[in-house]
Amino acid sequence: MQALLFPGQGSQFVGMGKDLHEQYEEARRIFEAADEALGFPLSQVMFAGPEETLRETRNAQPAILVHSLAVWKVLDLDTAEGDWVAAGHSLGEYSAYAAAGALSFEDAVRLVRRRGELMFAAGQERPGTMAAVLGMGAEAVTEVCAAIDGIVQPANLNSPGQVVISGEIEAVRKAGEQLKARGAKRVVELSVSGAFHSPLMEAAAGGLSKALSGVAIEPARFPVFANVSAEPVTAPDEVRESLERQLMSPVLWEPSMRAIGAQEPEGFLEIGPGQVLRGLLRQIDRSRSCRTLGTADEVQTFRGDS
């Protein structure tokens, strides 16, 4: 069994996917299909920037999904044979469902564009922030957040000693002070446009639910471990529910990796830009190997090894 990992927001960079576009016809068709589905040249923003435009949530999210699925298309792995499982970090869960055939490529691109627009708007309507807490476990972080007046909660359980909190600005900052007093090594406020994966995303979640109701969802060809439950999902109604709940719920990344690890996969493949998920996996379980497949060179080497 192989485990597929799809990265989330923050992995974008100017120039992403350009080498794949230049060297693979299959990738070019993916970029062209994305531009057509969205009605504007997202590929040019990916290849040439400017960085501020690419970093916008409404652009970064589809850019990462398109890059990931371009790699997936070029790899052309036969998921009909052998065992496969997948997981995607927040936005990356959409990439995973698209790779598994639960979402069409065009629907996935349009959904994550809409998701980014809704998340940004919700952040303007109900301002919030996020902070990375380093050197403290999820249980202690949860306990501190629960004692703070205002809205603040764990948003990403990324790895042992790396938990991201999210909520109202003042509540997040008060929680950060308490966490440092309790022994956290560092608390770093993140540059984000809203309090993602918290109740402050309620308006976005409502809009996203409406968008999801308008797309067809098929049974996934292989299980995707959902962020909200760290459990495998294949049925269309479960896919829809997991994506609807995701915006206001913590990303259970470490529990998902441990659940996948319990199935003893032969290896992990990070499909898309960057190597954030490879780094988190090393923090979770150093015995697991993870190969990053995001550039034309990495794909060529992998295909030559196959």
Active-site positions? Answer: 90, 197
Instruction: Name the strand (E) or helix (H) holding 118.
Output: helix 105-125
Q: Are 110 and 118 in contact (CB under 8 A)?
A: no
Task: Give the burial string for 93-121 (b: 16+ CB within 10 Å, else e).
Answer: bbbbbbbbebbbbebbbbbbbbbbbbbbb
Listed residue (298, 247, 303) closest to 274, CA to CA: 298
Structure tokens at 52: 């501020």
d(CA 154, CA 165): 4
User: What are the CA-CA distances from residue 145 to residues 24, 90, 95, 172, 276 (Å)?
Assistant: 48, 21, 31, 8, 26
Q: Are 91 and 112 in contact (CB under 8 A)?
A: yes
Furthest C-alpha separation in the chain = 56
Strand partners, 3: 85, 268
Strand partners, 267: 2
Listed residue (156, 65, 50, 56) closest to 107, CA to CA: 65
